């Protein structure tokens, strides 16, 4: 049974000019979510390995790095070497997914795969045994503050079912539009970690916002089948 709800605030919504202070403000979180965008796989452009190093230098909260890049085959291990605790990449961008997972593990990090809203869960069938994390995108990647796509709940349930079928228990993470309003149903569906950007950084008291989402999510634990 899930022991507690994990929360990963996204620094995409933080004030990068005051990164150290904004990291300190989320010290009660389980992970810091770092959204890496290359301006090619997605239209936005954000952080490189040096930002991961800066995150690691300014907080003890583990770094959950989400690569929205067109060349994860070449770059995924570099983010692990920069200090990421988890590195996840999009299966839609990967040429050799198993090789990337192996490279991340060899560099000392946990490995995850991300699926976009239009990507079926069946795409994970051949690789889920090797994953530490599966990230279900509940918005289309590239920008913060988007509205949650309701069908994502069904996909979370499908990931959980696939993991059970294979006898594995990766972290099931959801990214996009997560808040206290939908935390319970996401956790009930099978999620174990929720990414929250504006739902945390849009509030004055970030610790209180984290606690609110976590507490809301706990209501979903008891309802799991």
Q: Confirm or deny that 175 is annotated as ligand binding.
A: yes
Burial class (CB within 10 angstroms; exposed 0-12, middle 13-18, buried 19+) of 132:
buried
Q: Confirm or deny that 198 is annotated as ligand binding.
A: yes
Q: Confirm or deny that 66 is annotated as ligand binding.
A: yes
CB 161, CB 27: distance < 8 Å = no
Q: Confirm or deny that 35 is annotated as ligand binding.
A: yes
Catalytic residue among 35, 38, 64, 132: 35
Q: Confirm or deny that 176 is annotated as ligand binding.
A: yes
- Of residues 146, 150, 197, the one with CA closest to residue 35: 197
Annotation says 35 is catalytic: yes
Q: Confirm or deny that 144 is annotated as ligand binding.
A: yes
Q: Confirm or deny that 197 is annotated as ligand binding.
A: yes
DSSP string, 143-157: -SSPPP-TTHHHHHH
Go through the chain and tell me how many residues it has: 225
The catalytic residue positions are 35, 175
Numbered residues of the known binding site for a divalent metal cation? 33, 35, 66, 175
């Amino acid at each position: 049974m899930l022991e507690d709800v994990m929360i990963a605030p996204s620094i995409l919504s933080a004030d990068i000019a005051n990164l150290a202070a904004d990291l300190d403000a989320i010290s009660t979180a389980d992970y810091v979510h770092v959204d890496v965008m290359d301006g090619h796989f997605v239209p936005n452009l954000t952080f490189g390995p040096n930002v991961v190093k800066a995150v690691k230098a300014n907080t003890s909260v583990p770094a959950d790095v989400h690569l929205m890049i067109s060349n994860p085959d070449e770059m995924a291990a570099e983010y692990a070497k920069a200090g990421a605790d988890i590195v996840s990449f999009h299966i839609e961008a990967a040429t050799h997914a198993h090789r990337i997972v192996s490279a991340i593990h060899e560099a000392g990090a946990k490995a995850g795969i991300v699926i976009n809203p239009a990507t079926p869960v069946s795409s994970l069938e051949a690789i889920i045994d090797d994953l530490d994390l599966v990230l279900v995108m509940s918005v289309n990647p590239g920008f913060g503050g988007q509205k949650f796509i309701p069908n994502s709940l069904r996909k979370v349930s499908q990931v959980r079912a696939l993991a059970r079928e294979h006898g594995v228990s990766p972290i099931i993470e959801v990214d996009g539009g997560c808040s206290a309003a939908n935390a319970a149903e996401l956790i009930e569906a099978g999620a174990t970690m929720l990414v929250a950007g504006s739902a945390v950084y849009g509030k004055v008291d970030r610790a209180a916002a984290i606690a609110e989402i976590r507490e809301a999510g706990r209501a979903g634990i008891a309802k799991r089948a």
